[in-house]
Structure 1
Amino acid sequence: MSIRLKQLRRQNQWSLETLAEQTGLTKSYLSKVERGLSVPSIAVAIKLARALAVNVEELFSEQAASMEIAITRASERTSFGSGEMDKPSVQSITSGAASKRMLPFVVYPAADFVASAFKEHEGEEFLFVHAGSVEVAFPTGTFELGAGDSLYFNALIPHKLRSIGPTQAEVLVVVSHDDE
């Protein structure tokens, strides 16, 4: 994402300061994202896409999305994050669809909440645990989900996710997103 974010920012003829003002993020954080030193959360990716008036996928792909029907093969997924058990990793799984109102990702959550602060963003969120087990924390309570379990909630409720148990969890996360 680092190269693409910088390209999109420059296309708009924006400085880091302008992008920071448009997103509510700090210049230093945005600089780290552009240099690949920091990985944005899904909520931050949505903020960046809105500010830059692009589809979230365009932050992670060199190709502009233009198809109404899109197939993304497993080998074509776009990954961001470390892939290490102690750090969250995310794969975008719909790289070709334009004007999406749903943003699906495969998330491999970190094993510890310390690596993950509470997140909140506009829209709704759906989680489906494909493998392993996770713990989803909200300010009002924590829920454990195993393979095959799902959870649907208003994404404005602060939430965080972690992998629990001996197997790295794999979670399908679908976030609703409306450009309007």
Structure 2
Amino acid sequence: MKIGEKIRRLRVQNSLTQEELADRCELTKGFISQVERDLTSPSIATLMDILEGLGTNLRDFFNEIEDEKIVFSKEDAFVTENEDYKYTLKWIIPNAQKNIMEPILIELEPEGRTKEDSPHEGEEFGHVLRGSTIIHLGSEKYKVRKGESFYYKANSNHYLSNPGKTKAVIVWVSSPPSF
């Protein structure tokens, strides 16, 4: 945790200037500036004074939940490949298993397929970005082409296959997570 950055954020949320916060805490504007830039660390007593000037306390300041990450880059993804089944799975949202839904990017090589998934609670959604795929739901099959989407309850065995001659790329979202 960057204490200075968090103090600055609280100060701005409270519509205070550095000088106003410094006056409330009987400190200098320069000291507040250095704390906010993490160039110096306040003593516990001084930190308590600053937090009181911001309308909070040590417990609430340090117990605050970390900011939720909203944007994820390629570097955040976790990738696995299955050469036997000819597919690559990219978990594009790290640790999504703890969320209500789990989005992945799946790349199916020609003649590739995913492993068969048993029936489970929840629903699944997909959107084909490139190529086409066949959804196998129990004994039924559904072809989904580039630009098309699918959505189903996962109450029967299911998997995707690529009978085509080009790679298929699909965004696949399970709720609850099952990958």
TM range (shorter): 0.5 to 0.7
1:169 aligns with 2:160: no
Partners in 1 of 2:113 and 2:162 — Cα distance?
12
Aligned residue number for residue 132 of structure 2: 133
Aligned residue number for residue 101 of structure 2: 102
Aligned residue number for residue 121 of structure 1: 120
Partners in 2 of 1:80 and 1:145 — Cα distance?
24
Matched residue type, 1:155: A
Deviation of 1:118 after TM superposition, in Å, equals 4.8
Q: Which runs of 4+ in 1 moved over 6 A?
A: none
1:154 aligns with 2:147: no
Matched residue type, 1:72: F
| Pairing of 1:1-180 with structure 2 (within 5 A) | 67-82=67-82, 84=83, 86-95=85-94, 99-109=98-108, 111-112=110-111, 116-177=115-176
Task: Please say which of residues 73-82 and 100-109 is displaced more in the overlay.
Answer: 73-82
Aligned residue number for residue 56 of structure 1: none
- Cα contact 1:86–1:111 (8 A) shared by 2: no
Deviation of 1:111 after TM superposition, in Å, equals 4.2
SS of the equivalent of 1:91 reads strand
> Which protein shows a greater Rg?
2
CA RMSD of aligned residues (A): 2.8
Deviation of 1:177 after TM superposition, in Å, equals 1.4
CA distances 1:143-165 after superposition (whole Å, capped 9, x unpaired): 11111111101112211111231
Matched residue type, 1:152: Y
SS of the equivalent of 2:102 reads strand
Aligned residue number for residue 35 of structure 2: none
Deviation of 1:121 after TM superposition, in Å, equals 2.6
- Cα contact 1:68–1:97 (8 A) shared by 2: no
SS of the equivalent of 2:152 reads strand
Partners in 2 of 1:148 and 1:169 — Cα distance?
11
Q: For residues 114 and 125 of structure 1, do their structure 2 counterparts lie closer, same or farther at Cα, with a shift above 3 Å needed?
A: closer
Q: For residues 67 and 78 of structure 1, do their structure 2 counterparts lie closer, same or farther at Cα, with a shift above 3 Å needed?
A: farther
Matched residue type, 1:141: E
Matched residue type, 1:70: I
CA distances 1:49-98 after superposition (whole Å, capped 9, x unpaired): xxxxxxxxxxxxxxxxx65233211233110123x595222000112669
Deviation of 1:107 after TM superposition, in Å, equals 0.9
SS of the equivalent of 1:164 reads coil
Deviation of 1:171 after TM superposition, in Å, equals 0.5
Deviation of 1:113 after TM superposition, in Å, equals 6.8
Q: TM-score, normalised by structure 2?
A: 0.53
Q: TM-score, normalised by structure 1?
A: 0.53
CA distances 1:83-136 after superposition (whole Å, capped 9, x unpaired): x59522200011266941110000123544777335333211001111111011
Deviation of 1:140 after TM superposition, in Å, equals 3.6
- Cα contact 1:72–1:96 (8 A) shared by 2: no
